[in-house]
Amino acid sequence: MFVGVWAFVGRSLRAGRELRRARIPSAQNSQAHVPTGGIQRLACNTERVATRPAKQRNLGRLSEIAQVAVRHGFGYFFEKHRLTDLLPWGQRPVVDPTAASQRGLHLRNMLDELGPTFVKFGQLLSTRPDIVPPDIIVELRGLQDDVRPFPFEQVEQVVEADLGLSLERAFLEFETEPIAAASIGQVHRAVLPNGRRVVVKVQRPGAPRQIEADLALLYQAARIAQERIRALDFIDARELVDEFARSIRQELDYRLEARNAERFRHDFAGDPHVAVPRVYWSYTRARVLTLEYLEGITLNDLDVTAYTLDERRRLAYRMTETWMTMIFRNGFFHGDPHPANIMVLAPERIGIVDFGQIGKLTDDDMAKLTRLFIDAANEQVDMLPKRLADLGVRYPKDREEEFRAQLRELYYKYYGATLAEIDPVQVIREGFQLIHSMHLRLPTRFVLLDKAIATLGSVGIELYEDFNVFEVAKPYARDLLRERFGPRYLARQARREGVRLASVISELPYQVHDVMEELRDGQVEIGFVHKGLDEFMVRLSAALNRLVVALVVAGGLIGSSLIGIFAKSGPHVLGINAISVLGFFLSGLLGIWLLWGVIRSGRL
Ligand SMILES: Nc1ncnc2c1ncn2[C@@H]1O[C@H](COP(=O)(O)OP(=O)(O)O)[C@@H](O)[C@H]1O
Ligand SMILES: [Mg+2]
């Protein structure tokens, strides 16, 4: 959760709002590359401590993370939040005065060094404009999940353990060099005994263990951060890590990914322009996924100059349409339309791979999203705040007018513009700035959708500079309007509502009967909920207590005076009866205490 800590604290550190231009994920290559020395060093350390008891090991790693953070210029942060006890004994953080202004870049480098789980966590944070400041988001979007491939012997071991067959028996051919490697697994080309060409995704041995260990650390760091850092009060850090843990654990079971692939294949079965690989279930297990090989080239390897402008335009539009269909028609969308996950099979045919992150939309969400989309495509800007509110976006009611004005300004700035005229980093920055300044709360269920749309937008511009979102969106919106709100849809809706209503009506006589019976028997109970009465009672009781103390004080004083006047015998102090003196003293003490309490409460 350290990651989050640095991201969030930025809110309190307003200094240096300078935004750095970042490369967006689309522009990057996700193929394997040799990691930095930092990752290697950390990996070694992890192995070194692997024999220690679990708790101590975690603390060791936590302090290691703290050291990495300090190395990346977060010393000021440790000083500010009194976290220096996490550093090894005696080490003082070096405070770099420029660090706060470059926090996004520093954070990104630090996560890179900490390893794949942290990189993925950073990627998740980059999709939360409601909690992470825009300058950090822009940097976090540049994080890539690239790692070194693991050795072929381990590939063999995993495949054999999961399939229960030796590699030679299971496959006719199996390429030893992977075509891609990521933190969870890597992909090899192979041929099945029946001659079919496939790709086999094999999970990195030890991936679940490493991820679980990193998750435990994140939970621990989240707890410390939540306890000590005031700026995090409005965030549920644990829930954030929970959300992350859920999504990353899902990616560990390839059978889920296989099921997602099947669903997409089914959804696009009739579409000649979209190819989804078939799943070979008998060669698929939790750690091994075998898919039909798609003959084509991924967008990030594509040499766009070999294509005519028109072909590029058609490809970009095809992609946009495919995702619009997933979002508005199927309610089941690919959450990571990264250029390495989209293939070009022919000028008019794209292929989709990598089904680890998918988003689902309910029918209700789809209908609301469609309304938003239709209004946005048709220049109904004033309707947008309401549409967004319907979708669960929360904004302060008294600032609705301001929100509307800002939305309008943003909209017309980009309306009708081609992608070439738009700097996507700028759009992200402005959009997120708006979310931030208006304190908008975004519903978590749309986070993946936002990310998918942003990624797709940046892929579009790589492909075809003159891409105009509205040009594709408008006719699509028109069709949707006809489909969603046309007579057929309305008839279906009416039927569904009718069934629901019928069930309510059929219950009605019984409910009326029950109420009448209770009335007849005099058993009707009505519950009252009083608001604010509890607080009033507490105050009343405090006031009564004070009154009682005041009476005791007054009684004590009067009693002591009477004793002082009438008691002639017994011990005397300074000519006054000793009991009377004691009475005066105790009453005075009580009186001062009462007075002090009243003054301190500020209500004299
Ligand atoms: N069915 C396929 N046909 C051809 N190439 C594929 C197929 N599936 C994956 N690939 C290639 O392997 C790469 C990594 O696969 P992917 O499923 O995206 O794994 P990861 O989850 O590691 O990103 C893709 O970028 C693509 O180049
Ligand atoms: Mg991929």
Residue 395's φ and ψ, nearest 5 degrees, are -140, 155
DSSP annotation of 167 reads H
Ligand 1 pocket check for 339: Cβ under 6 Å: no
Atom of ligand 1 nearest to the CA of 301: 27
Stated pTM of the model: 0.69
| Closest ligand relative to 185 C-alpha | 1
d(CA 261, CA 198): 14
pLDDT tens-digit readout, 414-470:
777 776 676 656 776 677 778 777 877 777 677 788 778 878 877 887 788 777 777
The DSSP line for 332-391 is: EEES---TTSEEEEETTEEEE---SSEEE--HHHHHHHHHHHHHHHTT-GGGHHHHHHHT
Among all bound ligands, the one having the nearest atom to the CA of 248 is 1
The yes-or-no answer on residue 423 being catalytic is: no
At residue 237, the pLDDT reads 82
Q: Where are the domains of the chain?
A: 54-146+209-250, 536-601
For residue 312 the two structure tokens come to: 């590029």
Q: Is the CB of 340 under 6 A from ligand 1?
A: yes
Q: Which of 5-9, 195-199, 326-330, 396-400 is least confident?
A: 5-9
pLDDT in tens, 259-297: 999 999 999 999 999 999 999 999 999 999 999 999 999
Instruction: Dump pLDDT digits (tens) for 26-74.
Output: 333 333 333 333 333 333 333 333 333 444 445 567 777 777 777 777 7
pLDDT at 206 over 70: yes
| Candidate ranges 80-89, 112-121, 191-200, 300-309; pick with highest mean pLDDT | 191-200
Task: Say how many residues make up the chain.
Answer: 604
The CB of 293 under 6 Å from ligand 1? The reply is yes
574 phi-psi bin (left φ>0, alpha ψ -120 to 50, beta other): left
